[in-house]
């Protein structure tokens, strides 16, 4: 009879996500993972396979959280343009709650995307999904007259994605709330 899992997988993934987010993949040791999760090495290996698979699980966990943020902004807002503004404001707030760790996906992109095709593909798929959502919101806002319809929705969507990532990276080196908020406001003024 196989052993049953006696730990909360969601809690483990949450802790591991925070650890990889803070230290990166290469600087995180198996001992760091043992210390962060409270699990022994064999439990980690038996459940997740290896450090790499655990890292991928952490990326997926973080991506799901970010997608929820985007989805919530789209559902709760009164208009498509307001949804975009709400997302930027939520991101701005989130950056200050996370002690300037930036974005886990952006951090991963700078650390691993050139060396790992699987990670690069994952990050590229994430970018496409976010850009597609932004483009849809922009087109809806153009249809309702909130955003000038002469602006290229796809270019704006890529601009918003790049600006959002830039905000997250900038927050790591400039934790000044006024600066970050000013940048976010300037990005949104383009709409």
Give DSSP secondary structure letters for 89-120: HHHHHHHHHTTT---HHHHHHHHHTTT-HHHH
* CATH number for position 172: 1.10.357.10
Q: Give the predicted TM-score (pTM) of the model.
A: 0.87
End-to-end CA separation in angstroms for the chain: 60
pLDDT cut 70: percent of the chain above it = 95
d(CA 7, CA 67): 26
Q: Note whether residue 183 is domain-resident.
A: yes
Beta-carbon count within 10 A of 183 CB = 18
Q: Note whether residue 49 is domain-resident.
A: no
Residue 98 is predicted with a pLDDT of 61
**For the chain, what is the domain count?**
1
Could you tell me the residue range of the domain that residue 158 belongs to? 58-189
d(CA 191, CA 184): 12
CB 141 within 8 A of CB 81: yes
Q: Note whether residue 95 is domain-resident.
A: yes
d(CA 179, CA 135): 27
Mean pLDDT of the chain: 91
Q: Note whether residue 99 is domain-resident.
A: yes
Q: Note whether residue 139 is domain-resident.
A: yes
pLDDT digits (tens, 9 = 90+) for 39-85: 999 999 999 999 999 999 999 999 999 888 888 888 888 899 999 99
Q: Note whether residue 52 is domain-resident.
A: no
pLDDT digits (tens, 9 = 90+) for 56-66: 999 999 999 98
Q: Note whether residue 45 is domain-resident.
A: no
Q: Note whether residue 39 is domain-resident.
A: no
CA angle 132, 135, 138 (to 5 degrees): 155
């Amino acid at each position: 009879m196989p052993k049953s899992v006696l730990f909360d997988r969601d809690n483990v993934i949450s802790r591991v996500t925070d650890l990889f987010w803070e230290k990166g993949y290469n600087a995180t040791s198996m001992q760091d993972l043992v210390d962060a999760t409270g699990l022994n090495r064999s439990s980690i290996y038996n459940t997740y396979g290896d450090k790499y698979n655990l890292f991928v699980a952490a990326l997926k966990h973080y991506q799901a959280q970010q997608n929820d943020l985007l989805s919530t902004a789209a559902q709760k807002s009164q208009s498509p343009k307001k949804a975009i503004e709400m997302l930027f404001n939520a991101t701005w707030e989130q950056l200050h709650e996370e002690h300037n760790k930036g974005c886990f996906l952006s951090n991963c992109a700078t650390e691993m995307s050139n060396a790992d095709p699987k990670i690069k593909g994952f990050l590229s798929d994430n970018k496409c999904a976010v850009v597609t959502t932004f483009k849809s919101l922009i087109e809806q806002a153009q249809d309702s007259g909130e955003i000038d319809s002469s602006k290229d929705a796809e270019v704006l969507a890529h601009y918003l994605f790049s600006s959002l990532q830039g905000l997250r990276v900038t927050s790591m080196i400039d934790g000044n709330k006024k600066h970050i908020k000013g940048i976010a406001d300037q990005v949104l003024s383009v709409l």
